[in-house]
Structure 1
Amino acid sequence: MAEFSTSTVVPYPREVVERWHARPGALTRLTPEFSMAIEAEPHPPLAPGAKAQMQVSVPGSYGVVRVPFVTEHTEPPAPDTFAETLVRGPMKTWEHTHTFETVKSPTADSPDGFCRITDRVEYSVAPGGFPGAAEFDEAALEPTLRAAFEGRHDRLLDELAYDAELAAFGGPKKILVAGSSGLVGQQVVAMLQTAGHEVRRLIRSTPRRENEVRWNPDLGLLDRGAVAWADVVVHLGGASIGRRFTAEGKRRILDSRVDSTKLLALTIGDLPASERPEAFVCASAVGYYGSDRDDEQLTESAARGEGFLAEVCEAWEREAAQVEQYGVRRVSIRTGVVMSTLGGVLRLQLPLFLLGFGGRVGSGEQWLAWVSLDDITRIYARAVMDPQLSGPVNAVAPDVVRQADFARTLAGMLSRPAALPLPTLAPRLVLGREAAAELAVADQRVVPAALAAAGYEFAHPSLESALAATLGIRRDTEAPAEQPAQAPAGQAPVEQAAPAS
């Protein structure tokens, strides 16, 4: 049996850090994208007997190959500690103990001290548990574990700092979320919950938890009381657009967005003024601008483009905007291509690039409007809290790139060539001519003007930063465990303790 241990100090009081970990969504927000995909968090969080269902990345696969990993929380061995053990997965054994303790802060500005987090894992590998496990020495997993826990540390610091930013806009809110099971929705709910907000989820199936509310947009069924309960309503729902644009496919794409948004907006309008939510934050997409805008810089004031998706986004935003006549703030989040190994375009392309078959799509001259998963999550949370954000908001990174540049950057980070361009015929064969033109080879130079005006600072403003984070590629020369943690304003930084092997 092998043992791995790491200890780090974060510049926040122990009570703050421990409370954050005990909230729903903490595992989702804490876990680096390259390390694990969270399928179900333990419920209640950290309670003995509660199980977490995950898909853990096979070492060296950059998240392309993931295998089931289920753990169960056990009785903590000591106060200010939680522990988990393996239920099912590629390991033979896995015992993880997570301990919080107060340490003296280096300044008098923090009388409550800082928090040291110590993670200790005892594990053994099951032969055949994952590809290559038969030849795997247990000690060889240490770099993988170290990268995962260093990633957790980085994410924890980022989350606590951003929570403080959001808190500057006001106290905890009650938030009703539709479309919470998707790639972005899962992260948005987790961020709002760990920031201390109360979240209820609109779902189409039978509710199993106290924070779930059933609705059926197809039948026009929605509990008015659930909407009246909320300070803010967030809607991220809609059928996948990654399909052929047949008559039936188009109907499903359009109706799933327009009908559900209309139901939410009408329900908000039917409530007495004193019971209406203060804001309605609704998804949209950069498809609003059409698929062929060449070098035109597209701010939120740019005209709608041509094509099916542009028509869908216009109808979608028009329904969301109905709440404005009732005095409710409306935000339509025009989302770009989300860069994440957990799903979307990058996850589809990554296997080809790892095999050395990646390259530009079409001519490669098309502008690619993209955003990291962390930033699109933060943008939704900011839209919930910031009363100055309203109307359409371009949720794209400022570093818009051409398709050829994207291919070269991704291939370079993976140390692979990018010499095999994908002809436009290939996506046409899969998606059909119309969908391929609007999805695979769309040309949109979108600018995040509204976010810039609001002073939003991107977690990943460059493509290199976003890809490094989701692939687990370190871009600095020193491990973060040897870097000073960033302290809150008014406090001095503190050195992290070096991980123990």
Structure 2
Amino acid sequence: MNTERSSQLPASASVVFDWFSRPGAMQRLLPPWLPLKVIEEAGSLKDGTAVLGLPGGVLWNAKHQPEGFAENRSFVDQLEPEGVRGLPARVVQWRHEHYFEPAGAQCTTVGDCIQSNMPGRQIESMLAYRHRQLADDFAAHQRAAQAGLKPLVIALTGSSGLVGQALCAFLSTGGHRVVKLVRHEPESASERRWNPLDPDPGLLDGCDAVIHLAGVSIFGRFSQAHRQAILSSRIEPTRSLALLASRSGVRTFISASAIGFYGASAGPHPLDETDSPRAGTPDFLADVVDRWERAANAGDSGMRRVQIRTGIVLSPKGGMLAVLRPVFSAGLGGPLAGGKQMLSWIGLDDLLDIYHRALWDSQLAGPVNAVAPQPVSNAEFTRALARAVRRPAIIPVPAAAPKLLLGAEGSHLLAMADQKIVPRKLLDAGHQFRNERIELELAHSLGSR
């Protein structure tokens, strides 16, 4: 069975082809709802091999076919299972032709033709996602280019996390060089060893910007050990890195933050960047975020600094949505404790765009609320997720349920958080969100129609 799809991009065929040849392209185009993980990208579109991992240790080897390669015009990959771990994939037939046809001076028709015995509906959903991603990523990079952004060398911590992996792929395909700051021995030329408390003086040599994402997950019971891990992974490492960046000629220092700044019980009124940490009821996380942002401002220099106050990040690859999706898919979802508490969310790709904007928008500085313009109640989120997975969500979840997993404080700070946050700085700057409504975000990231 053949399945085809094409769309046009406002760029030359050589520019589009270059995008596909860069590290991160496969990760940017792989639908997040599929149970696949990029293990190795092809070193060459002409004759390289990409390796994907499936559940159970099964490997999907996509070999690029030399006879289907034409510079700036086409390339072909074909499933060719190898070894014992590739045996289950032998029942699948897969040949994917990619073509690029000039459609004007600065316009290219990008096309896909897939020959496979897999269900056509699944392939159509995958291709719809790929072409939407291509269009949105190219639009984001073109906005940055129009604002004057040139290829940068960007040091990035937290590259192994959900946001870090996606951001590395997005920036690399956009033509930037990402230097991953890691705590283990470097395994490639793209990595540098980083001691969070005592960074090497030359760690940031040659870097134009720093994006600092590292920090242990806040999810869990708020024991003394968990509290200390949250603090120790954020405050001093951020201060040390900010001080080093201010002495190293780095022009922009972008650090992760969180809407926890406003408190878990922020109340029914919308809050923006002008509100203080006392806008809601003070709590442990509000204090941590306040200190975290102060640490990001350490050092004296003309370096521009941005703190990205992130809401609940939605992706089936991790975080809250990864936990709730199987529950709702089984028909066991429902509103939590009546569902009145407000949820300030952000799609993963929209979050990447905000970090990207922080690189090119010289007017953006200080705290920036990284949330969608339309927060929703827990009940509204429940209905939207149920529609996206085509299941009922009628089983109410009592407030006591999350306490069993997270304890009283963890339940209050995480599961029962009530925050109505507005991205005022982004709205005032005319920022374009990919998905402003929760229904559109869930449809895109879960592959529903």
The reply to whether TM is greater than 0.5 is: yes
Q: For 2:56 and 2:137, locate their aligned partners in 1 and report how far apart those are by CA, in whole Å.
A: 25
1:79 equivalenced with 2:70 (yes/no): yes
Specify the code of the residue in structure 1 equivalent to 2:292: W
1:316-342 per-residue CA deviation (whole Å, 9 max, x = no partner) reads: 10100114x311111110100011111
Match of 2:336 in 1: 361
Give the drift of 1:95: 4.1
Give the drift of 1:194: 1.1
Give the secondary structure class of the aligned counterpart of 2:364: coil
Output aligned runs, 1:156-171, within 5 Å.
156-169=134-147, 170-171=149-150
Q: For 2:214 and 2:46, locate their aligned partners in 1 and report how far apart those are by CA, in whole Å.
A: 31
Q: For 1:211 and 1:43, locate their aligned partners in 2 and report how far apart those are by CA, in whole Å.
A: 17
Q: For 1:192 and 1:119, locate their aligned partners in 2 and report how far apart those are by CA, in whole Å.
A: 24
Match of 2:253 in 1: 280
Change (3 A) 1:18 1:308: same
Q: Select between 332-341 and 77-86 the one with higher mean Cα deviation.
A: 77-86
1:57-91 per-residue CA deviation (whole Å, 9 max, x = no partner) reads: xxxxxxxx898543243342131333333333645
Output aligned runs, 1:111-130, within 5 Å.
111=105, 114-123=107-116
Output aligned runs, 1:238-253, within 5 Å.
238-253=215-230
Match of 2:350 in 1: 375
Give the drift of 1:47: 6.2
Give the drift of 1:45: 5.3
Q: For 1:41 and 1:377, locate their aligned partners in 2 and report how far apart those are by CA, in whole Å.
A: 22
Specify the code of the residue in structure 1 equivalent to 2:287: E
Output aligned runs, 1:434-445, within 5 Å.
434-445=409-420
1:470 equivalenced with 2:445 (yes/no): yes
1:172 equivalenced with 2:158 (yes/no): no
Q: Which has the higher strand share?
A: 1
Match of 1:92 in 2: 91
Q: For 2:205 and 2:46, locate their aligned partners in 1 and report how far apart those are by CA, in whole Å.
A: 31
1:220-251 per-residue CA deviation (whole Å, 9 max, x = no partner) reads: 34233231311100011110111110000110
Change (3 A) 1:393 1:90: same
Specify the code of the residue in structure 2 equivalent to 1:188: L
Change (3 A) 1:111 1:162: same
Give the drift of 1:429: 0.6
Change (3 A) 1:52 1:386: farther
Q: TM-score normalized by structure 2?
A: 0.91
Output aligned runs, 1:134-145, within 5 Å.
138=117, 141-145=119-123
Q: For 1:194 and 1:99, locate their aligned partners in 2 and report how far apart those are by CA, in whole Å.
A: 17
Contact 1:333–1:393 under 8 Å retained in 2: yes
Q: Pick one of 213, 226, 229 that aligns with 2:203.
A: 226
Specify the code of the residue in structure 2 equivalent to 1:71: N
Give the drift of 1:168: 2.0
Specify the code of the residue in structure 1 equivalent to 2:435: H
Q: For 1:366 and 1:45, locate their aligned partners in 2 and report how far apart those are by CA, in whole Å.
A: 49
1:295 equivalenced with 2:268 (yes/no): yes
Q: Pick one of 264, 268, 271 that aligns with 2:241.
A: 264
Match of 2:292 in 1: 316
Question: What are the ranges of 5 or more consecutive residues in structure 2 without an aligned counterpart?
Answer: none
Contact 1:75–1:82 under 8 Å retained in 2: yes
Q: Select between 79-88 and 148-157 the one with higher mean Cα deviation.
A: 79-88
Contact 2:60–2:89 under 8 Å retained in 1: no
Which has the bigger relative contact order, CA under 8 A and spacing at least 6? 1
Match of 1:70 in 2: 60
Give the secondary structure class of the aligned counterpart of 1:297: coil
Specify the code of the residue in structure 2 equivalent to 1:467: L
Contact 2:65–2:78 under 8 Å retained in 1: no
Give the secondary structure class of the aligned counterpart of 2:114: strand
Give the secondary structure class of the aligned counterpart of 2:374: coil
1:409-458 per-residue CA deviation (whole Å, 9 max, x = no partner) reads: 21133332222111111110101100110000001110100111221111
Give the drift of 1:279: 0.8
Q: For 2:28 and 2:144, locate their aligned partners in 1 and report how far apart those are by CA, in whole Å.
A: 16
1:432 equivalenced with 2:407 (yes/no): yes
Change (3 A) 1:179 1:143: same
Q: For 2:438 and 2:237, locate their aligned partners in 1 and report how far apart those are by CA, in whole Å.
A: 33
Contact 1:179–1:235 under 8 Å retained in 2: yes
Give the secondary structure class of the aligned counterpart of 2:305: strand
Q: For 1:369 and 1:183, locate their aligned partners in 2 and report how far apart those are by CA, in whole Å.
A: 18
Give the secondary structure class of the aligned counterpart of 2:244: helix
Give the secondary structure class of the aligned counterpart of 1:444: coil
Q: Pick one of 333, 343, 354 that aligns with 2:318.
A: 343
Q: For 2:47 and 2:184, locate their aligned partners in 1 and report how far apart those are by CA, in whole Å.
A: 27
Contact 1:18–1:100 under 8 Å retained in 2: no
Specify the code of the residue in structure 2 equivalent to 1:251: Q
Q: Select between 407-416 and 163-172 the one with higher mean Cα deviation.
A: 407-416
Give the secondary structure class of the aligned counterpart of 1:176: strand
Change (3 A) 1:37 1:236: farther
Specify the code of the residue in structure 1 equivalent to 2:188: R
Match of 1:448 in 2: 423
Match of 1:58 in 2: none
Q: For 2:315 and 2:340, locate their aligned partners in 1 and report how far apart those are by CA, in whole Å.
A: 22
Q: Select between 28-37 and 194-203 the one with higher mean Cα deviation.
A: 28-37
Please report the RMSD computed on the Cα atoms of aligned residues, expressed in angstroms.
2.1
Contact 1:32–1:155 under 8 Å retained in 2: no
Specify the code of the residue in structure 1 equivalent to 2:109: R
Specify the code of the residue in structure 2 equivalent to 1:164: Q
Instruction: State the percentage of identical aligned residues.
Output: 36
Q: For 1:467 and 1:183, locate their aligned partners in 2 and report how far apart those are by CA, in whole Å.
A: 17
Q: For 2:215 and 2:53, locate their aligned partners in 1 and report how far apart those are by CA, in whole Å.
A: 25
Give the secondary structure class of the aligned counterpart of 2:442: helix
Change (3 A) 1:294 1:252: same
Match of 1:155 in 2: 133
Give the secondary structure class of the aligned counterpart of 1:418: coil
